[in-house]
Chains A and B, each alone.
Chain A
Amino acid sequence: MTSYDDAEQIIFPAGAATQTSAAEAAKGEWDAVIVGGGMAGSIVAEQLSQAGYKVLILEAGPGKDLDLAEYESYLSRFYGAVVKDNQSPYPFNPNARMPRSTDTMPVHPDTPRDDFYLVQEDKYCTDTTFTRVLGGTSMHWEGKALRMLPEDFDLQTKYGQGLNWPLSYDDLEPYYRQAEAELGVAAEVEDQTYLGMHFPKGYVFPMHRMPPSYLDQTVARGVDGMRVNLADDDYTLQVRSFPQARNGVPNAAYDGGKGFVPVGAVSTSQAEEGERCQGNTNCVPICPVQAKYHAGKTLAKALRKGNVKIVTQAVASKVEINDLDRRVTGITIKNYHSLDSDSYETYTVKGTVYILCAHAIENARIMLASDMQRMSRSKLIGCNLMDHAYLLSWGLLPKPAGTMRGTTCTSGITDLRGGRFRVTQAGFGVDIHNDGWGWATGSPYTDLVELVDKRGLRGPELRRTLGDQISRQLLLAFMIDLLPDRSNTVTVDDRYKDAIGNLKPVVSLKIPPYTMRGAAFARKLATDIFEKLGAEDKTHYDEKSYSAVEYDGQWYNILGGNHLAGTHIMGTDPTNSVVDHTQQSWDHDNLYLVGPGSLPSIGTSNISLTMAALAFRSSIHIARYLRAAKAPVTVGS
Chain B
Amino acid sequence: MTQGPTADEKLREFVKFSAAVTGFSEFDLWGTGQAEAYYETVVNQVGPDAIQNAISSDPSVVPADPVVQSIIKLWYVGVWYGPELAGRVDVAAWTAPGRSGAKPAVSDDSQPEESWNRQAVPGQHQAGESGAYAEDGRKALFVVSSEAYTEGLLWRAIGAHPSGAKAPGYGSWVNPPAFENYQKEQV
In the complex they form, do A and B come into direct contact, defined as C-beta atoms under 8 angstroms apart? yes
Q: Mark A84-100, 1 if CB is under 8 A from B, else 0.
A: 11100001111000000
11 contacts between A and B (CB under 8 A): A82-B79, A92-B120, A103-B102, A214-B173, A279-B169, A279-B170, A280-B167, A404-B163, A446-B92, A456-B62, A467-B157
Choice from A83, A280, A281, A339 contacting B95 with Cβ under 8 Å: A83
Report the nearest B residue to A86, measured CB to CB.
Answer: B100
Asked if A400 CB lies within 8 Å of chain B CBs, one says yes
Q: Which residues of B contact A449 (CB under 8 A)?
A: 73, 81, 87-89, 91-92
Q: Which residues of B contact A448 (CB under 8 A)?
A: 73, 76-77, 92, 154
Interface residues in A, total, Cβ within 8 A: 86
Chain-B contact segment, one of A436-444, A568-576, A618-626: A436-444
Choice from A62, A276, A435, A454 contacting B163 with Cβ under 8 Å: A435
Contact yes or no, A278 B167, CB < 8 A: yes
Asked if B137 CB lies within 8 Å of chain A CBs, one says no
**Dominant SS among interface residues on chain B:** loop
Q: Which residues of A contact B76 (CB under 8 A)?
A: 448, 452
Asked if A211 CB lies within 8 Å of chain B CBs, one says yes
Report the nearest B residue to A128, measured CB to CB.
Answer: B100
Taking A79-B165, A85-B100, A458-B22 as contacts, is the C-beta distance between A445 and B93 under 8 angstroms? yes
Q: Which residues of B contact A459 (CB under 8 A)?
A: 20-23, 186
Asked if B5 CB lies within 8 Å of chain A CBs, one says no
- Residue among B153, B154, B186 having the largest count of chain A Cβ atoms under 10 Å: B154
Asked if A488 CB lies within 8 Å of chain B CBs, one says no
How far does the alpha carbon of A456 sit from the alpha carbon of B63 in the complex, in Å?
Answer: 6
Chain-A contact segment, one of B6-14, B29-37, B41-49, B177-185: B177-185
Contact yes or no, B98 A84, CB < 8 A: yes
What's the nearest-Cβ distance from chain A to residue B126, in Å? 8
Taking A279-B167, A441-B93, A456-B63 as contacts, is the C-beta distance between A81 and B174 under 8 angstroms? no
How far does the alpha carbon of A246 sit from the alpha carbon of B21 in the complex, in Å?
Answer: 40
Q: Which residues of B contact A190 (CB under 8 A)?
A: none
Contact yes or no, B127 A84, CB < 8 A: no
Contact yes or no, B120 A91, CB < 8 A: yes
What's the nearest-Cβ distance from chain B to residue A15, in Å? 15
Chain A positions 218-249 with a Cβ under 8 Å from a chain B Cβ: 248
**Dominant SS among interface residues on chain A:** loop
How far does the alpha carbon of A459 sit from the alpha carbon of B185 in the complex, in Å?
Answer: 11
What's the nearest-Cβ distance from chain B to residue A634, in Å? 46
B residues with CB within 8 A of A: 20-24, 59, 62-64, 66, 68-69, 72-73, 76-77, 79, 81, 86-89, 91-103, 112-113, 115-117, 119-123, 125-128, 130, 141-143, 145-147, 149-150, 153-155, 157-161, 163-165, 167-177, 179, 182-184, 186
Q: Which 8 pairs, one residue from A and one from B, show the smallest C-beta to C-beta distance? A: A442-B93, A80-B127, A406-B173, A438-B98, A282-B164, A278-B167, A82-B112, A92-B116
Contact yes or no, B64 A458, CB < 8 A: yes
Report the nearest A residue to B141, measured CB to CB.
Answer: A82
Q: Which residues of A contact B117 (CB under 8 A)?
A: 92, 94, 340
10 other contacts beyond A280-B167, A442-B94, A448-B154, with CB at 8 A cut-off?
A: A79-B147, A80-B128, A81-B119, A82-B141, A212-B174, A214-B174, A405-B159, A448-B92, A449-B91, A546-B102
Report the nearest A residue to B125, measured CB to CB.
Answer: A77
Q: Which residues of A contact B79 (CB under 8 A)?
A: 82, 445
Contact yes or no, B99 A438, CB < 8 A: yes
Q: Which residues of A contact B81 (CB under 8 A)?
A: 449
Chain-B contact segment, one of A170-178, A284-292, A351-359, A490-498: A284-292
Asked if A59 CB lies within 8 Å of chain B CBs, one says no
Taking A443-B96, A449-B92 as contacts, is the C-beta distance between A462 and B164 under 8 angstroms? no
Choice from B68, B145, B182 contacting A80 with Cβ under 8 Å: B145
Q: Which residues of B contact A211 (CB under 8 A)?
A: 170-171, 173-174
Contact yes or no, A405 B173, CB < 8 A: yes
Contact yes or no, B22 A102, CB < 8 A: no
Choice from A84, A104, A461 contacting B97 with Cβ under 8 Å: A84
What's the nearest-Cβ distance from chain B to residue A310, in Å? 17
Contact yes or no, B179 A278, CB < 8 A: no
Taking A77-B125, A279-B169 as contacts, is the C-beta distance between A453 and B176 under 8 angstroms? no
Contact yes or no, A76 B125, CB < 8 A: yes
Contact yes or no, B155 A214, CB < 8 A: no
How far does the alpha carbon of A75 sit from the alpha carbon of B68 in the complex, in Å?
Answer: 30
How far does the alpha carbon of A466 sit from the alpha carbon of B119 in the complex, in Å?
Answer: 32
Chain A positions 566-586 with a Cβ under 8 Å from a chain B Cβ: none
Choice from A340, A400, A443, A454 contacting B120 with Cβ under 8 Å: A340
Q: Which residues of B contact A454 (CB under 8 A)?
A: 87, 89
Chain A positions 267-302 with a Cβ under 8 Å from a chain B Cβ: 276-282, 284, 286, 288-289
How far does the alpha carbon of A407 sit from the alpha carbon of B168 in the complex, in Å?
Answer: 11
Contact yes or no, B102 A445, CB < 8 A: no
Asked if A420 CB lies within 8 Å of chain B CBs, one says no
Q: Which residues of B contact A163 (CB under 8 A)?
A: none
Choice from A86, A91, A401, A410 contacting B122 with Cβ under 8 Å: A91
How far does the alpha carbon of A288 sit from the alpha carbon of B166 in the complex, in Å?
Answer: 10
Choice from B112, B159, B164 contacting A402 with Cβ under 8 Å: B159
How far does the alpha carbon of A446 sit from the alpha carbon of B95 in the complex, in Å?
Answer: 9
Q: Mark A340-367, 1 if CB is under 8 A from B, else 0.
A: 1000000000000000000000000000
Contact yes or no, B100 A62, CB < 8 A: no
Contact yes or no, B170 A286, CB < 8 A: no
